């Protein structure tokens, strides 16, 4: 077997063991703690790239894991555990962003200004680098395109797995990523 394939099989086996342990009432909490420990960093950065703010990312991560705890007994195992967790985290992000826009009742340019200022003030981004422009460009994307771009560009998630996360066809995701990349390119060239 190829090393990447072996690693994927091992990871799926570990997830299967954790899920079996979660089904056992005496091991449920420990199994879930191990799931959280295994996926919290990857999910945090996925969420953080969507919402930018560390505090918001922490809150959304906690919400995503609370939902996972609530529904993990009903997980059918027809996709990978981390794909299921990414779907929950992505949906939490999209709900948060939609709620934030609605609550603030701001015009689109004010929202963009808020996101731009958040990126500029973040200590993780240096305004003198291309990464800063890239983050500003990403924040200007519609939420779903932002999520697709982040999963593909940063997490290098295959389109087939993204299809499971979004419940969308591979072709639609490729088109969404292509449009997002073009918008980002145009943004960077104009700014």
- CA-nearest of 99, 95, 123, 122 to 111 is 99
In the chain, count H helices and then E strands.
Answer: 9, 0
pTM exceeds 0.75 for this model: no
CA angle 5/48/73 to nearest 5° reads 60
User: pLDDT, tens digit, for every residue of 78-125?
Assistant: 888 989 999 999 999 989 988 877 666 555 555 556 666 666 666 665
65: confidence class by pLDDT, cuts 50, 70, 90 = very high
CA 165 to chain centre: 10
User: pLDDT, tens digit, for every residue of 141-160?
Assistant: 988 899 999 889 888 889 99
User: pLDDT, tens digit, for every residue of 1-35?
Assistant: 445 555 555 666 889 999 999 999 999 999 999 99
The hierarchical CATH code for the domain 1-104 is 1.10.1740.10
Judged by phi (left if over 0) then psi (alpha if -120 to 50, else beta), residue 168 lies in beta
Q: For the domain made up of 106-191, give the CATH fold.
A: Butyryl-CoA Dehydrogenase, subunit A; domain 3 (1.20.140)
Question: SS3 for 1?
Answer: coil
Question: SS3 for 133?
Answer: helix
Domain locations in the chain as residue ranges: 1-104, 106-191
């Amino acid at each position: 077997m190829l090393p990447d394939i072996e690693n994927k099989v091992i990871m799926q086996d570990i997830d299967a063991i954790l899920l079996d342990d979660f089904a056992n009432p005496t091991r449920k909490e420990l199994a879930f703690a191990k799931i959280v420990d295994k996926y919290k960093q990857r999910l945090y950065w996925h969420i953080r790239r969507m919402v930018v703010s560390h505090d918001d990312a922490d809150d959304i991560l906690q919400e995503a894991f609370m939902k996972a705890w609530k529904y993990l007994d009903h997980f059918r195992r027809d996709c990978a555990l981390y794909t299921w967790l990414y779907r929950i985290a992505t949906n939490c992000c999209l709900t948060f962003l939609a709620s934030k826009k609605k609550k603030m009742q701001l015009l689109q340019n004010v929202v963009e200004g808020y996101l731009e200022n958040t990126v500029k003030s973040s200590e993780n981004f240096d305004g003198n680098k291309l990464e800063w422009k890239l983050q500003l460009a990403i924040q200007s994307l519609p939420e779903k395109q932002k999520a697709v771009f982040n999963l593909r560009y940063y997490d290098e998630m295959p389109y087939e797995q993204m299809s499971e996360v979004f419940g969308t066809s591979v072709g639609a995701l490729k088109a969404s990523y292509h449009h997002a990349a073009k918008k980002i390119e145009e943004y960077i060239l104009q700014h």
